[in-house]
Amino acid sequence: MCRTNVSTVVPPRHPTRLDGHQIQHDDARRVGVLHCPNGSSSARDNISPKARHDSICFPYSEIGGAHALIVSPHHPRFLSLATRERLAKAMRSGIVIPQGLIAHGRGEAFDYLLGEETLPAALAATYAAAAFLLTAKHPVVSVNGNAAALAGREIVNLSSVISAPIEVNLFHRIPKRERLIATYLKGLGAEDVLGVGRSASSTIRGIASSRRRTDPRGIGEADVVLIPLEDGDRAEALSRDGKKVIAIDLNPLSRTSRAASVSIVDNVIRAIPALTDASRRMKKMPRDSLQRSASEFDNQRNLARAIQEMIRYLRGWA
């Protein structure tokens, strides 16, 4: 169902066999994915210079030994494959847990319904979110493992633009994992990361999971909280506490989307850069204009618009 435009490469008439593996081609005759034994030079030696230059090799593990996944950017699912490999690597490092891979797959299915594009409803929500963040007294960006792995650098950039601290908040809260995520984000340029260890000493009422723990310097005193890739109970609890919640969620029907003040129905890898860009440009606007943009935004109406955009996209395939 993907309408992604890709450049094509004319492959040989028959698949090239390399040490018992093949360069795969799809029905459109695009270069596909090659599985090759790690450390073997024969696979790369048999690829044309252009294909070798264009391919990206991702290390991963399989039963029976270490392998490498070589993905050509001409593959129609290149970005999706690269994103999955990034998450798999983050899982091996301890930043992402196995349940996070399931959550990502569910979200990717909804992204298909958007044509894997940022649609007008998401763009409208992005501008409203920027207005809320820029007029907040204490904005905070909440980060879990998937968000850090998928958009860590972009989150750090956004944090700098809107002058908001980053706080680690996990459903599966393990001290070592908290420290890993904080260290990773600091390595990307974050000056300080809240919510790690004993610093998460406050609690949000009405939540049974470990996500109830917050940092009093961060989410504890925040008036606006950005929660990419969030679970519904915390979104509802934050809203009950009077905080403005900005969600990034590919599912417009989720509890998170419905509980938030602003729901950006988009993939986080597109949404965070778009929000950063909007915030950077809107910082020049008068404060009263920003406040008006925030107050006039109707999240429920915009969610209905997002659903209609999905329906229109699907009708294009009928």
List the domain boundaries for the chain: 17-76, 120-315
The pLDDT of 159-184, averaged and rounded, is: 90
Q: Predicted confidence band at 310 (pLDDT cuts at 50, 70, 90)?
A: very high
- Region 287-299: what's the mean pLDDT? 97
pLDDT for 182 equals 92
Q: What CATH code would you report for 120-315? A: 3.40.50.12640
The packing angle between helices 145-162 and 98-112, to 10°, is: 70
Query: Which of 54-58, 116-120, 149-153 bottoms out in mean pLDDT, i.e. has the lowest?
Result: 54-58
| pLDDT tens by residue, 253-270 | 999 999 999 999 999 999
Task: Give the model confidence (pLDDT) of 198-250 as tens digits.
Answer: 887 787 887 767 767 888 899 999 999 999 977 788 899 999 999 999 999 99
199 compared with 113, residue with greater pLDDT = 113
User: What residues have CB less than 8 Å from 55, skipping those under 6 apart?
Assistant: 34, 47, 70, 71, 72, 73
Spell out the residues 6+ positions from residue 239 whose beta carbon is closer than 8 angstroms to its own: 245, 259, 260, 261
- Across 21-35, 61-75, 162-176, 273-287, the highest mean pLDDT is recorded for 273-287
pLDDT score at 56: 44
Q: Give the residue, 70 or 144, on which the prediction is more confident.
A: 144
Highest mean pLDDT: which range of 78-92, 134-148, 196-210: 134-148
Provide the pLDDT for residue 318: 67
- Segment 286-293 shows an average pLDDT of 97
pLDDT at 70: 66
Average pLDDT of span 169-185: 86
Q: How confident is the model at residue 76 (pLDDT cuts 50, 70, 90)?
A: confident
Q: Are 180 and 153 in contact (CB under 8 A)?
A: no
- The percentage of the chain sitting over the pLDDT mark of 90, rounded to a whole number, equals 49
| pLDDT value, residue 73 | 79
Separation between Cα atoms, residue 253 and residue 16, nearest integer Å: 45
Q: What is the pTM of this model?
A: 0.76
In terms of pLDDT, which residue wins out, 202 or 309? 309
> Can you read off the two tokens belonging to residue 119?
């649609």
| % pLDDT > 70, the chain | 76
Is residue 311 within a helix (H) or strand (E), and if so which, with residue range?
helix 299-315
Task: Quote the pLDDT of residue 16.
Answer: 30
